[in-house]
Amino acid sequence: MGGLRVAITGASGRMGGELLTAAADHDDVDYVLAATRTPEAVPSGDAPDAPDAVVADSDLGDALESHDIDVLVDFTVPEASVDYLRAAADSGVAAVVGTTGYDDDHLETLDSVAESVPFLRASNFSRGVAALRRAVEAAAGALSGYDVEVTETHHNGKRDAPSGTALTILDDIDEARGEAAERVHGREGDQPREGTEIGVHARRAGDVTGEHEVLFAGNEEVVELTHRAGSRGIFAVGALDAAAWLAGRSPGRYDFGEVLDAGGENEDDGASRSQ
Ligand SMILES: NC(=O)C1=CN([C@@H]2O[C@H](COP(=O)(O)OP(=O)(O)OC[C@H]3O[C@@H](n4cnc5c(N)ncnc54)[C@H](OP(=O)(O)O)[C@@H]3O)[C@@H](O)[C@H]2O)C=CC1
Ligand SMILES: O=C(O)C1=N[C@H](C(=O)O)C[C@H](O)C1
């Protein structure tokens, strides 16, 4: 255990702050480099969550090498994230990515990053959502022909809609049913439900951390599967567990499910990881 050196981008953000807190408590993490546009907004000095070093995000490339970083953990915005990930790829540093809302051009960049370094991206780093996804896949397969509606609720600061998790769940349902359903984003006016469409609803309100609900409705019965995140700490711990698992692997794309299946064990060094 121990010895992991991580860089956290977007260190002043909601998730950046959670990652600094979780890193300070994580058994595997020994050194934290914070990269930010706003160094003054990152805890410093004797603050319990203060990182070991802070750099301007424009200096990230050089800093990854000079601070001997093993894994970059990125929860930011797509347009900044692709630059941070290019810097990681150029420095041979593995990357764990939680950012959501990428467009097709961004995703091409992510593909090229995954060719040169170990790369793990997940739209949701909670164990509960991993379990929700398995339950949804089972229900989608078992309840063929039932209408499906997906609803997600998040805090009023969230930019992308629908959430990355909702999009992942929609892909899971398509996969389980063997067809790409039309996605109808909200409904208005004369718009009855048609065929196998899936209604997708994004709500933004207050400080809700993140909720995802999948509704399956047949005639005379309804199944509702719901996950509610109680804090952002669960995402931060999941991402750092993924970082510990990913460090030292071969370049390529990895899945958060592999981290959970391994129970947090990195068989490369046999170290036990916290969950
Ligand atoms: N996969 C998962 O489990 C989860 C994913 N997320 C995703 O993580 C991402 C971040 O979420 P959250 O922390 O709430 O967002 P915030 O808006 O709180 O933080 C984003 C941070 O990104 C940094 N940043 C760098 N460049 C820019 C830019 N051009 N514009 C704006 N910000 C910039 C900023 O940090 P600084 O000023 O320090 O540079 C900013 O604070 C989102 O995509 C969200 O969906 C969120 C929770 C869980
Ligand atoms: O922005 C957030 O807050 C979250 N984003 C992720 C998403 O888009 O699915 C995960 C989580 O729901 C919180």
pLDDT tens, residue by residue, 214-240: 999 998 999 999 999 999 999 999 999
Of 211, 209, 224, 121, the closest CA to residue 166 belongs to 211
Q: Is the pLDDT of residue 1 over 70?
A: no
Q: How far is the CA of 142 from the centre of ligand 2 (A)?
A: 28
242 C-alpha vs ligand 2 centroid, how far in Å? 17
Q: Which atom of ligand 1 is nearest to the CA of 99?
A: 43
According to CATH, the topology of domain 4-125+232-261 is Rossmann fold (3.40.50)
Mutate to test the pocket of ligand 1, among 76, 129, 152 (most ligand atoms within 8 A of CB): 76
Amino acid at 116: S
Task: Write the CATH number of the domain with boundaries 127-228.
Answer: 3.30.360.10
Reply yes or no on whether the pLDDT at 29 is more than 70: yes
pLDDT at 222: 98
Residue pointed to by tokens 């089972």:
138
46: pLDDT strictly greater than 50:
yes
The predicted model scores a pTM of: 0.95
Q: For residue 197, give the 3-state DSSP assignment.
A: coil
Residue 19: which pLDDT band, with cuts at 50, 70 and 90? Answer: very high
Catalytic residue set: 154, 158
Domain boundaries, the chain: 4-125+232-261, 127-228
Binding positions for NAD(+): 10-15, 98-100, 122-125
* Strands, sheet with 221-228, edge to edge from the N-terminal-most edge strand: 183-185, 198-204, 147-154, 211-218, 221-228
Distance CA 79, CA 207 (A): 24
- Strand-strand pairing, 211-218 and 221-228: antiparallel
| Cβ 52 vs Cβ 273: under 8 Å | no
